[in-house]
Structure 1
Amino acid sequence: MGSLFEELEAREVAAQTRVEELEAELAELSGKLELARESLERLRIARETVAEVLAEMTPENSAVGVDAEWPAGGELAASAYAGAERRVIGVLAVPNWQPEMGAEVLPQVYRDILEVVADAPGPVRAKQIVPRIGLPAETGKIEGTRSKLKRLVERGWLDEGTPGMFTPARRRTAKSPNSR
């Protein structure tokens, strides 16, 4: 059996090693905590900024560009901005097409896409549109444009007769209730 001092020294070395390991873990966790706090702060600032912008917006100068008379999803468009200081869920940037609605209600990139499709001699693909709206012909840009095209189809602004081929929408005229 070793001496008492050797045993104490061995335990001290083991304790010192454990302290260093815990300090290293603490430093790592402190770094992770700081990153999480920074992320939380950025999200808080973003939420507050969006709430401020939406609170200041009026239907006349909104990005959606619709007036308070036009119904969007069963409610007045102005209600999307009401109480913006409270919890904001979202704003419909691409409204469903309605008769007598012009492209000016759409964000600029969607108007550019509609213009390219309208000017094309026939159906066009997303990869043909991307360079015409000033984006590099990269996969990510093509896929982003494709999703915008699909959204325009869903909302009645464009048609997609063949998958991936987009054309201006053939407007469906609403039948009066008395006509058969």
Structure 2
Amino acid sequence: MSENPQVQPILDRIETREHELAAQAEQLRARIEELAQQLRETDAETENLRITRKTLLALPMPSPAAEPEAPDIPVHPAYQQILTALADAGRPMRARDLCQALDLPILPKNTEGIRSKLKRLVSRGILAETEPGLFARPDA
């Protein structure tokens, strides 16, 4: 090296700066490797999502779910009158109460006839017997 005393401090500063730049370059290389790894992971996840989308689009469409069939209400008008009376009342009723609501005389034959119709509506899922002898619409 040069024996010139004026040049030595400059050479020392250059060497210090070279070490600083080498350290900085090493840090940047490490950061580049870290970013490259993150990029590979992101690319892999993106590819997985693309494959998932492609697979889902290739699946056949499910057939539409069939609407549950409404229970068959018997044709006789008495059943419609019973259902209307229950809807108007908005509360569970007994056969005797329905006889009164339908303006039928409170006689055993009438209450038993209404009770049997109520039981038939319960068996078809149109009405519910909330407790023995007490009938209501399932949605009420």
Flag the structure with more relative contact order, 1 or 2, with Cα contacts below 8 A and sequence separation at least 6: 2
TM-score, normalized by length of structure 1? 0.36
- The structure with more helix, counted as a fraction of residues: 2
